[in-house]
Structure 1
Amino acid sequence: MTQRLETMSGALAPVASVVVAVYNGGEQLGAQVAALLGQSLSNLEVILADNGSSDGCVEPFVGIGKIRVVDASGKRGQGFARNVGAAVARSDYLLFCDQDDVAEPGWAEALVEALLRYDLVGGSFDVGSLNSGVEFWRTPPVRADVGSPLPFASGSNFGIRREVLNAVGGWPERYLGGGEDTALCWRAQLAGYTLGYAPRAVMQYRYRRGFGAHVKQQFHYGRQAAVVSRDFAELDDMPVAPIMRTLGWLAVNVGLLAKPESRGGWMGVAARRAGYEVGRRSARSIVGLATQRSRRREPR
């Protein structure tokens, strides 16, 4: 498979370009870079799109072989950093992952192979290798995407062909810390592109440490999900709010009674539901205010 892909791309361009949005990656970035350089797909370039790091985490990688460090500090957010990295990539197969995870050896090859059949693809996650003792913080007993009108893949383990990314306008840059991957996948599918799944593209995923950090992250994800739902009102117009409230109530009550080893997962579900409800109400306020202003401008 590797030889076939290298023949397709020729000797002058890499088979695939991996873009990593970086912000204060610390020591964790080194583990991901090492994993990317050790991929079974040898003809690969790694682009570190630095979103304004202050810890000097990208400096050790400047000028090293297949690694390219680019300045992506012009605007805050993963969406912007990923777009900057994609713009300078030399391959038409664009792969994306996060700075604090670790790609398994066949990850890149599996994603590129899937991109021969689909327009954009997502991989699978190993949640045990990097999270010994803390898996329960983010292992919800209820699916986090309940009510989602279209499937989506996580930007932490993602591949897309360049022409498709360009056709849908790149990564959305208005979402900060969640939602950009959902919006990109929905936008692409509405435009007629196909989303596939590459189970052999395994990413070792690192969870947030500690109960407070976990709940805060899940609440923020919920708010961002509501913003995405508002932006894609033609799909669902937020019809799952009653489900969100019910599941949130159940998650809180079950979570308080659950065993300590599973309590974090339940409370994470509750935090995501609560965040969605807060975001939904904010969205309604914004829409209502815009409607009032529009009516005031109408001639009497």
Structure 2
Amino acid sequence: MTVVVPHYNDLPALGRCLNALQAQTLSADAFEIVVADNASPQGEAAVAAVIAGRARLLTVSERGAGPARNAGVGAAQAPIIAFTDSDCVPEPGWLKAGLSALERYDIVGGQMEVLVDPSRPKTGAEAFEQVFAFRNDRYIRDKGFSVSANLFCSRKVFTIVGGFGVGLSEDVDWCHRATSLGFMIGFAEAAVVGHPARVDWPELLIKWRRINYEGYHLALKEGRRLRWMLSTYLLPASVLAHLPHVMASRSLGGRRERMSAIMTLTRLRAWRLIDAHRLFFGLRR
């Protein structure tokens, strides 16, 4: 198995990711790690120093996680590919559980856990993400895709489907292309990867600016631009629909955290509606 880890400009997170991969219950000689670095500004020597022999380093000049993943697969030496991101922390049983699930499915997505610092109260962004971010079981079941931070497939499947795209929701696009070719996607609950929550509104906004942009361009590719725009008018009403979910969430510890999540949800849905208009009418690039 080859684990492909795209990376750009976050050396401490890359170190934590590699530490977690070294702690896998799967035998160390059963997998290799390829770090596909998007020419990080610290330079190749600094990235190599963090890797410290734990992975093969591949420098990829074409910017974007999609091209980095594609290059990583091209350099892979194994017939099975596992994808995670450099800011993620796979749990020890991740690789073994994902590999086992590939006996039943052509493509496997695992469970995502949102990580927060337990030593302090959650911010609004963290409370929101603990309820709403990375619901990979629902993505697979209801929308037919897995996030690329926790994805397994064979090299054969990847070659048939083709590489990840650029400038759109590459994980959605790739999985939809795969399932349209008849490949079966499944969920592996025991294949768990942790991802740190965004800690404040600016970080959350960076994430959602990217998601909105990529979602819009995927809709353009799939010929559903108008439907995408019309669906954004449901965003304000969806706040009410999600209130019971916030109030019942076991991830949140009390009234303050629940109210913070609701306020962030409301603010974000309003912002997404405005940003959708900017994209649709060509006011944002």
TM-score, reference length from structure 1: 0.75
Given the superposition, is the C-alpha separation of residues 130 and 102 from structure 1 closer, same or farther in structure 2, using an over 3 Å criterion?
farther
1:151 to 124, 139, 144: 144
Query: For residue 196 of structure 1, what is the aligned residue in structure 2?
Result: 186
Amino acid at match of 1:64: G
Amino acid at match of 2:191: A
C-alpha deviation, 1:112, in angstroms:
1.3
SS for the counterpart of 1:58 is: helix
Instruction: Check whether the contact 1:230–1:237 (CA below 8 A) recurs between aligned residues.
Output: yes
Instruction: Check whether the contact 1:140–1:269 (CA below 8 A) recurs between aligned residues.
Output: no
Query: For residue 247 of structure 1, what is the aligned residue in structure 2?
Result: 235
Counterpart CA distance in 2 for 1:107 and 1:20 is 14
Q: Which runs of 5+ in 2 are unaligned?
A: 244-257
Instruction: Check whether the contact 1:136–1:265 (CA below 8 A) recurs between aligned residues.
Output: no
1:45 to 32, 36, 39: 32
C-alpha deviation, 1:84, in angstroms:
0.7
SS for the counterpart of 1:259 is: helix
SS for the counterpart of 2:227 is: coil
C-alpha deviation, 1:181, in angstroms:
0.5
- Which structure has the higher relative contact order (CA within 8 Å, separation 6+)? 2
Query: For residue 136 of structure 1, what is the aligned residue in structure 2?
Result: 127
1:116 to 103, 127, 131: 103
1:60 to 49, 67, 75: 49
Counterpart CA distance in 1 for 2:117 and 2:105 is 30
Counterpart CA distance in 2 for 1:143 and 1:86 is 24
SS for the counterpart of 1:98 is: coil
Find out whether 1:71 has 2:71 as its counterpart: no
Amino acid at match of 1:193: F
Query: For residue 253 of structure 2, what is the aligned residue in structure 1?
Result: none
Counterpart CA distance in 1 for 2:156 and 2:116 is 35
Counterpart CA distance in 1 for 2:276 and 2:96 is 36
Find out whether 1:226 has 2:211 as its counterpart: no
Deviations 1:163-203 (A, max 9, x none): 1111122111x22xx61101101111111111111111111
1:178-197 alignment runs, 5 A limit = 179-197=169-187
Given the superposition, is the C-alpha separation of residues 63 and 34 from structure 1 closer, same or farther in structure 2, using an over 3 Å criterion?
closer
Counterpart CA distance in 1 for 2:104 and 2:134 is 27
Counterpart CA distance in 2 for 1:183 and 1:259 is 34
C-alpha deviation, 1:246, in angstroms:
2.4
Given the superposition, is the C-alpha separation of residues 193 and 137 from structure 1 closer, same or farther in structure 2, using an over 3 Å criterion?
same
Given the superposition, is the C-alpha separation of residues 281 and 139 from structure 1 closer, same or farther in structure 2, using an over 3 Å criterion?
farther
Overall identity of the aligned pairs, in %: 26
Say which one has the larger Rg.
1
Amino acid at match of 2:232: M
SS for the counterpart of 2:25 is: coil
Query: For residue 252 of structure 2, what is the aligned residue in structure 1?
Result: none
Deviations 1:246-273 (A, max 9, x none): 2146649x99xx8335322333344444
2:67 to 80, 103, 110: 80
Instruction: Check whether the contact 1:157–1:203 (CA below 8 A) recurs between aligned residues.
Output: yes
Query: For residue 250 of structure 2, what is the aligned residue in structure 1?
Result: none
Amino acid at match of 2:49: P
Counterpart CA distance in 2 for 1:275 and 1:143 is 21
Given the superposition, is the C-alpha separation of residues 275 and 139 from structure 1 closer, same or farther in structure 2, using an over 3 Å criterion?
farther
Aligned length: 257
Q: Which has the higher helix share?
A: 2
Counterpart CA distance in 2 for 1:206 and 1:198 is 20
Counterpart CA distance in 2 for 1:138 and 1:212 is 14
Given the superposition, is the C-alpha separation of residues 225 and 51 from structure 1 closer, same or farther in structure 2, using an over 3 Å criterion?
same
TM-score, reference length from structure 2: 0.79
